[in-house]
Amino acid sequence: MRITSFIKGYRKEAVLAPLFKLLEALFELSVPLAVASLIDDGIALGDRHHIIMMALLMVLLGVIGLCASVTAQYFSAKAATGFSERMKSALFQHIFSLSEKDRDSIGTPTLITRLTSDATLVQNGINMFLRLFMRSPFVVIGAAIMAFTVDKSLACTFLWVIPLLSVIVFLIMKVTIPMYRSAQKALDKILSRVRENLRGVRVLRAFSLENDEKKAFHAETEHLKSIQTSSGRISALLNPLTYAIVNIAIAVILLEGRRRYDISLVEAGAIVAVVNYMSQVLVELIKLANLIVTISRAIASAKRIESVFAIKPSMDDGDKSPSIPSGDVNAIEFSAVSMVYRDGGKPSLENVSFFARKGERIGVIGGTGSGKTTLVSLIPRFYDVSSGTVSVFGTDVRDWDRKALRSHIGYAAQKAVLFNGSVRDNMKWGRYDASDDEIDEALRLAEAYDFVHEMKGGLDAEIEENGRNLSGGQRQRLSIARALIRRPDILILDDTLSALDYQTESRVRDNLSSMPEMTVITVSQRTGSLRAMDRIIVLDKGRVDGIGKHEELLQSSEVYREIDKSQFGEDEDGEN
């Protein structure tokens, strides 16, 4: 995808801006003509009226020039910001159309830089491009043509100056663009470090790593500075080189002019005129030189943004959104599912098959890293299987319309993620049109009603980014409530109850039994929490070690028995 396509919709502005800029240049160029007329026709002929008329004409030219220029600035600002707005919007959308795996492989910090810093640089570039890139070649080539009308052989100098300057601009851009890209990359690192020091502040301070972090940050800012300096060293050549070449050209014109003057082929006035045109080129190019940097950086950033657009979502969306059949059907079915996260790594799931009937309560248990979270995250299709199929209500998840699929699923993740906003806002994530009564009902089911209403403002109480102002257990209960409020057909609790105390946990489980139509998949560490399940899947290093009820598994699964035994101590005490 070419990034320039975002200019669509701002074509009018993008065309008009440089045109008005040209208009301005034209009016600017006509001022000397008015002055000449003022002197030649006004003063020389003693025509007072003509002098005043010419002065008025100059004011008029100034006003028109001002209008043209203001219009041009407005259109270029509008096209540039409009472009940037569209591009950011599309980039944001694109990022969310990617799968988890895609986003993981790009990395969050760099996505943030691309949506912010890179987008700004592209915007600046376009703004400057529209304002000057039309005007400058126009003035330069115009000056060359004018010079040719004066004296062809003197103007020949333009024939090597313009290409030479173009080559220099081109070379400098070619060399610096990759440098600006690495500068943006260095900025990614800086952003990443700052973000980590905010998110990981407790751990970093617990280890008193502030000084190490500062040192690392020092090195990173130094790295950025050194890239900037070396790219600056090259782009700084542009101005002096332009200046030198153009002025040497003037000297050459003078030299050639003298030769031709001596054999009476040229007037002195013509030499002066050609020299003046060359100086005009210089003035324009010096202006341009400062902008080459802006443009080069914009191109570098545009490439970075394009590379994100170039990532095709590794998941194609299906188009099916079947209605949920009533009666006794398979809500979820895994057949021979394998899943590998990292290329070259070991599979996190291997050949897993099971089914869950509608309304069943399924438990998932297994050691740390045995693939429990991977298993449940395949149901809403956060990841695609490496082989095998996952079906929800009889349809392969890859054929489902992803949004429709997920609308049937309530997912409470292990690490509860809440967002900045009121409790109500967060609950409405589960269902946008939920009423306060419905929210309260969901909060009650998740045993979150009391603490929410103890907070100042109740449902209006403000939750900080990431739910930082809540305890772990409170966050988890809100995330369960958020999952429940949509009355999902499938509820997935990925070890969501782990931060709750036993009393709260068992109350939540009781509450859930009032929803018999809902298929519930519970991931847990504790056999005690899973005892009442219709079926329990025991995972061991990505493989199914056994499926069955608690009592059956105690007989058939060595792993399950061991897990249960590891909790037996507590058990015994409790029953004593």
Partner 1 sequence: MAKTDYKSILSCLWYYIRPYRAKTFISIISAFISSLLTLFFPLLTGSAVDAIISGEGRLFMRILMMMAISVLLSSFFQYLMNLANNSLSFSVVRDIRRDAFAHLEKLPLSYIDSHSHGDAVSRITSDAEQVSDGLLMGFTQLFTGVITIAGTLVFMFAVNWVVALVVVFVTPLSIFSASFIAKRTFSLFYKQSEARGKQTSFINEMISGASTVSAYGKEEENQKRFDKINHEWAGLSLLSVFYSSLTNPVTRFVNSIVYTGVALSGGLAALSGLMTIGGLTTILSYASQYTKPFNEITGVMTEFQNAAASASRIFAFMDAEEEKDESSLPALSLEKGGVCFDDVSFSYVPERPLIKHLSLAIEPGMKVAIVGPTGAGKTTIINLLMRFYDPVSGRILIDGQDIASVKRSSVRSSFGMVLQETWLRTGTVRENITMGYPGADDEAVWKAVKLCHLDSFIASLPQGLDEMISDDNDGISQGQKQLLSIARVMLSDPGMLILDEATSSIDTRTEMHIQDAFMHLMEGRTSFIVAHRLQTIKNADLILVIDHGDVIEKGTHKSLMSQDSFYRNLYMSQFAKR
Is residue 413 involved in binding partner 1 (CB under 8 A)? yes
State the nearest-atom distance from the C-beta of 453 to partner 1, in Å: 13
Is residue 192 involved in binding partner 1 (CB under 8 A)? yes
CB nearer to partner 1: pick between 327 and 569: 569
- Residues in region 32-91 near partner 1 by CB under 8 A: 35, 38-39, 42-44, 46, 48, 51-52, 54-55, 58-59, 61-63, 65-66, 69-70, 73-74, 76-78, 80-82, 84-85, 88-89
- Residues in region 429-458 near partner 1 by CB under 8 A: 429-430, 432, 451, 456
- CA–CA separation, 567 vs 339, rounded Å? 30
> For residue 268, how many other CB atoms are within 10 A of its CB?
9
Is residue 19 involved in binding partner 1 (CB under 8 A)? no
Of positions 117, 321, 338, 353, contacts partner 1 by CB under 8 A:
117
- Residues in region 269-308 near partner 1 by CB under 8 A: 271-272, 275, 279, 283, 290
Please name which of 490, 320, 481 lies closest in space to residue 398, comparing C-alpha atoms. Answer: 320
Is residue 353 involved in binding partner 1 (CB under 8 A)? no
CB nearer to partner 1: pick between 138 and 261: 261
Is residue 265 involved in binding partner 1 (CB under 8 A)? no
| # chain residues binding partner 1, by CB under 8 A | 187
Is residue 369 involved in binding partner 1 (CB under 8 A)? yes
For the chain, give me the number of helices (H) and strands (E)?
21, 12
Of positions 232, 318, 322, 359, contacts partner 1 by CB under 8 A:
232
Residue 526: CA count within 13 A, CB half-sphere: 16
- Residues in region 377-396 near partner 1 by CB under 8 A: 380, 382
Q: Got the DSSP string for 27-76?
A: HHHHHHHHHHHIIIIIITTT-HHHHHHHHHHHHHHHHHHHHHHHHHHHHH
Question: Which residues is 492 bridged to in the sheet?
Answer: 411, 521
- CA–CA separation, 213 vs 557, rounded Å? 48
CB nearer to partner 1: pick between 242 and 391: 242
State the nearest-atom distance from the C-beta of 400 to partner 1, in Å: 12
- CA–CA separation, 48 vs 489, rounded Å? 92
Of positions 359, 367, 388, 458, contacts partner 1 by CB under 8 A:
367
- Using the contact rule CB under 8 A, the part of the chain among 136-144, 167-175, 306-314, 408-416 near partner 1 is 408-416
Is residue 464 involved in binding partner 1 (CB under 8 A)? yes
Task: Classify 421 as helix, strand or coil.
Answer: strand
Q: Are 180 and 300 in contact (CB under 8 A)?
A: yes
Q: Strands of 535-540's sheet, edge to edge?
A: 409-412, 490-494, 519-523, 361-366, 535-540, 543-548
- CA–CA separation, 41 vs 54, rounded Å? 10
